[in-house]
Chains A and B, each alone.
Chain A
Amino acid sequence: MQRNQTLFLKDLPKNMFSGFVVSLIALPLGLGLALASGAPPIAGVLTAIVGGIVVSILGGSHVTISGPGNGLVIVVLGAITTLGNGDNYQGYLYTLAAILISGVIVMTLGFLKMGRLSDFFPSSAIQGMLAAIGLGILAKQFHVMLGLERGKASIAELLLSIPEMIYEFGTRLFSMGFGASFAGIIGIISFCIMLFYPKIRNRYVQLIPAPMWILLISIGSTYYYQFTGQRYPIKESLMINVPESIFAQLPFPDFSLITDGAFWSFVISLTLIASIESLLSIKAVDKLDPQSRRSNVNKDLKALGLGTILSALIGGLNVVTVIARSSVNVNNNASNRSANFFHAFFLLLFILLFQQQLERVSLTALAAILVYTGYKLATPSKFFKIAEIGKEQLLIFVVTVLVTVVSNLINGIVMGILTTIVIHLFLNKSIGVFLRNVLKPNVLGFKEEGQYVVSVKHFCSFLNFYQLKNKIDRIPESSNVIIDLSMCQFVDNTAMEGIEGYIEVFSKKGGEIEVVGLDKHGTKSEHPLAIRKLIPFSSIGPIENYLTRRQTQLQTTASEHNWDYRPNKNNDLKKLKTFIYFKTKNINYKYNQLFHKDNDISIFDVEYSEGEFIAKETIKTTMFHVKLPFSAPIFTIDKEGLLEKLYHIAGFKDIQIENHRTFNKRFYLSGKNEKSTKMFLSDELVLFLESQPYYHIECNGKALLIFKKERLLGVSEIKAMSYFGEQLLKLIEDKQ
């Protein structure tokens, strides 16, 4: 306990910093999400403040951030306009009541230990729901971003009129000039900032998150007009309106519609989406946590429910766990819940100190952030990713999206589930296998000779995946597990995805899950599943049949230098996962591999991702990997500062080498054991490194990982890297 306290205090500064960075994103997002929901902008910030405080104190997760969620925007907007029936403020008060009740239900779910609720939904249907939410946000905010007026219209209508909106904006810009379109220009600039920010590799630009840049630019432009004595060209109605005193006139939920059917359907939607969004986010954040801790989701649900109740009482929205902000939190080294608390604290500070400045933010800028958020939820690549899993998954996805867009979320998810069930029945050509077995305890788990065996019978789909989950949840992640699916007639994509998630978590914590018994599913015709294996879209064009220019060059280079070249995807990533560089990243696969025939050198492209959902970034990098013939100290050589945070979490210490000032100045050396690392880096080695171009080097004790930049390399660059790696290896071997 004592130790925990000291650790908590020691980590406090970095959690405070991380909370601060997150609050910079949470402020614009909070304003924007509330605005898009049709609620007063400040409501979103209040939600984040209440949520951050309550969940950080009572929650059961570690590095999550709570606040207003983008999943709920469309439902809240629908509730306010429908319940208000023309009077939006009254509608808002009714909606607050619905939010409060949904908070009570979420809390109850927590007490009933329903943290596994999200496991009962087919994953493609959930993906479809998220994409539909994204489309909804995009549709409802696009015209706001351009500063155009649109009357009440459905999501589908708005989506279809996007080209028309762009045309209208263009003609206005050219016919009426810059001033008349200024609001839209701010919107477009803001959108470009969101779009290109991740591509800018400047440290100082990256110090401030993109949404905050947008606020700063929007506010800054008003000051520019003020100092030059001109009238600001954006009209009042397109600027944020913050009440005189935020705490003086708090709205109070109005319960008078409590007997109304529509009211309750909104309560159900709010509850469903708030809990699913939170549960999915918690699951995703647990995967990002460098310490791989397991969150207590039921405890979190209780805290989120309570947070929602309190938030609704002061005019805020549903408190949910949000993935994008949590992901930023992890990337800024947050280590415990106090970061969430500080994020709330700084938000409170902001609205108390900068209330007047907030009124200078234009709605078009906020809308741009939302359009980007919506776009990220529904990028075309989402569709392709789903199609890769299988055509039938794409069907489920598309049905869910379409029904959600033309009807509402509940109908969408229900249709998604029904479609999934119909597809499963069709694929199995039998209803009996489901009816007879759905309620049977179909999972057996036992421990045998230090190893866990989990056997699944009959079928394994979203309907009964929770049974498998219950079993795996009871196994420490550091153990070896065999999941035997050979007695299953049918395994669906939701179950496979769930298992995949566990495989990742286990391998991060030093355990291993091996799935056996699926191979025959692909071949036996009476086992129609492993659908993902039988009819994926990607099978139309395996990589090796469509070599790109770079790949043909690689092929030629390989044959010239007597290397082996394999262009296809390879999922054997065990070796890579042990490197600290990959600790907070999800490796997807490696491809374009070059092997040296007579030693353990390989060069390959690897695709991995950092963050989740909207903060997700997929990176492809060319790397050089060599297995060392002897054991070496664990260390890394890096250009000053680039990745230092990551290695500090892993317990690396900075190391200075005596008498090599240039080296110390140019490189950033850190390692687990200072003495042995210094011993390892002989004078010749240091001289070699100094004289060569910069490469990032990490040694995990057994192997070296070398790469130049976090991107793919051209063929000549690959040759240079391979030369560098081989020389380095030779020097090290000579010394031993």
Chain B
Amino acid sequence: MDIKKTKEGFNTILFGFAFSPTLNQNITEVTRLAHYFDAELVLLHVGAYNEQKEGEINRIIQKTEHANRVKEVLWKDGDPYTTIKNFVNHSDVDLLVLGAQQHETLYRFYIGSVARKLTRHVNCSVLLLINPSIERKPCQHIVVNGLDHENTSTAISQAFFAGHKLQSKQITIVEEIQNSELKISVEDDFSLKKAVKKESEITEREDKRVHQIIEEIPEKLKKDIQLKTQSIFGKRGYSLGHYAEVVRADLLVINAPKSSGLFSRIFTRDVEFILSDLPTDLLIVRAS
């Protein structure tokens, strides 16, 4: 699972769309993304085919600037989760895009639960869009998870790739450190001093680790992007999302949980924390 085996970028993007009030924005946004990533776009609707609807979607596609990126529009009957999963796993899709509205609780819940299951079981990366728009909102600031995990290097290199393609200005790599790792409970001046010392030691160690990962990233992806590392002490996943919200990041990149094993179960909880309070667009990177 090392970095060399991971190909950067995406060739085929799949967008699972629904006829929601924001369909127009969603389509505009994904075609634009396909353009930036230089990828082909497949649109998939889970539901019965209907001529009127086909006309509607085609009209929307034609209005977009990058309509040529749309390779095909597919209609499939069935349950959204299984349908999308089966399609993705039996084709060469390498990025699945799902729309998720930040403030529609019910819809978000639905998307959340589908997305949660999908992120665990599809074998490609997943991008959740919370705020698609007709006008391009530049993706200025990307926050990426710098957790000590075997897939982190993939997430970081994908973040740089995306940052490069989307012309982002800044990437912040966040090292989430669990409080339990500190092993010092602050009770008085003395333990506070010890805790502060330990914190700065851990921060230094984590920074070093992350910088090693960054060194392996090609220079051309790194230039023009400001890099920052940030240590955070707190609950994994949750504090990452909170941080992205505080710094008003435009995209949060995290690595996907592995599909099986006990470790993944624990790790999946982190993703769920982020999904429950989806602060920004979220890219879940799966090492292929």
* CA A446 to CA B199, docked complex, whole Å: 11
> Quick one: which of B188, B193, B230 contacts A60, CB cutoff 8 A?
B188
| Interface pair B234/A441, CB less than 8 Å apart | yes
Interface string of A560-604 (1 = CB under 8 A from B): 000000000000000000000000000000000000000000000
Partner of B187, one of A298, A440, A442, A484: A298
A457 to B, closest residue via Cβ? B242
CA distance A442 to B231 in the complex (A): 17
Chain B 232-264 near chain A by CB (<8 Å), digits 1 or 0: 111100110011011000000000000000000
- Bound Cα distance from A442 to B241, whole angstroms: 11
Task: Flag whether B189 is at the interface (Cβ < 8 A).
Answer: yes
Among the listed A444, A445, A453, A474, which residue makes an inter-chain contact with B186, where contact means beta carbons less than 8 Å apart? Answer: A474
Number of interface residues of A (CB under 8 A): 27
B74 contacts A by Cβ under 8 Å? no
Q: What distance in Å separates the Cβ of B42 from its nearest Cβ neighbour in chain A?
A: 36
- What residues of chain B lie closer than 8 Å to A457, measured between beta carbons? 242, 245, 277
Is the Cβ of B230 less than 8 Å from the Cβ of A294? no
- A444 near B187 (CB under 8 angstroms)? no
* Interface residues on chain B, number (Cβ under 8 Å): 25
User: Which residues of B are found within 8 Å of A442, using beta-carbon distances?
Assistant: 242
Residues of B within 8 A of A440 (CB): 238, 277
The answer for the CA separation of A296 and B187 in the assembled complex, in Å, is 5
Does B196 make an interface contact (CB < 8 A)?
A: yes
Contacts of B61 in A (CB 8 A): none
A511 to chain B, nearest CB (A): 12
Complex Cα distance, B191 from A473, in Å, reads: 11
Q: Which residues of B contact A60 (CB under 8 A)?
A: 187-188
Q: In the assembly, what is the distance between CA of A487 and CA of B248, in Å?
A: 12
Tell me whether A220 is interfacial, beta carbon within 8 Å: no
- Closest chain-B Cβ to A415's Cβ sits at a distance in Å of 33
Which of chain A's residues have a CB closer than 8 A to the CB of B230?
Answer: 446, 448
A474 contacts B192, C-beta separation under 8 Å: yes
Q: How far is the CA of A113 from the CA of B185 in the complex (A)?
A: 9
Complex Cα spacing A338 to B246, Å: 47
**B162-220 residues at the A interface, CB under 8 angstroms:** 185-189, 191-193, 195-196, 199, 203
CA distance A474 to B246 in the complex (A): 20
A444 near B242 with CB under 8 A, answer: yes
By the criterion CB–CB under 8 Å, are A441 and B239 in contact? yes
Beta-carbon contact of A444 and B243 below 8 Å: yes
Closest-by-CB residue of A relative to B236 is A441
Interface of B is mostly: helix
The answer to whether A441 touches B235 (Cβ under 8 A) is: yes
Task: Please give, as numbers and ranges, the residues of chain A lying within 8 Å of B192 by CB-CB distance.
Answer: 294, 473-474, 476
Which A residues are CB-close (under 8 A) to B245? Answer: 457, 487
Asked if A147 is at the interface (CB within 8 A of a chain B CB), the reply is no
Smallest CB separation, B240 vs chain A (Å): 9
Interface centre among B186, B188, B195, B196 (most CB of A within 10 A): B188
User: Which listed residue (A115, A294, A441, A447) contacts B189, Cβ 8 A?
Assistant: A294
Query: Is A455 among interface residues, defined by CB-CB distance under 8 A?
Result: yes
Chain B residues, Cβ within 8 Å of A298: 187
- Nearest chain A CB to B52's CB is how many angstroms away? 38
Q: Is the CB of A455 within 8 A of B246?
A: yes
Distance in angstroms between the alpha carbons of A359 and B181 in the assembled complex = 60
Checking A299, A441, A446 against B238 with a beta-carbon cut-off of 8 angstroms, the contacting residue is A441
A525 to B203, CA, bound (A): 41
User: Is there a chain B Cβ closer than 8 Å to A297's Cβ?
Assistant: yes
Q: Kindly list chain B residues whose C-beta atoms are within 8 Å of the C-beta of A443.
A: 234
- Tell me the complex Cα distance, A44–B248, Å: 59
CA distance A293 to B192 in the complex (A): 11
Neighbouring B residues of A293 by C-beta, 8 Å: 188-189
A507 / chain B contacts, CB cutoff of 8 Å? none
B233 touches which one: A445, A448, A453, A476 (CB < 8 A)?
A: A445
Is the Cβ of A455 less than 8 Å from the Cβ of B187? no
* Residue contacts A-B, CB under 8 angstroms, 10 given: A294-B188, A296-B187, A440-B277, A441-B235, A444-B234, A446-B233, A457-B245, A473-B192, A474-B192, A476-B196
List the 3 closest A-B pairs by CB distance, nearest first: A296-B188, A441-B235, A444-B242
**Known contacts A296-B187, A474-B196, then 14 further A-B pairs from the complex at CB < 8 Å, ordered by chain A residue:** A113-B185, A113-B187, A440-B238, A441-B234, A445-B232, A445-B234, A446-B230, A446-B233, A457-B242, A473-B192, A474-B192, A474-B199, A476-B192, A476-B196
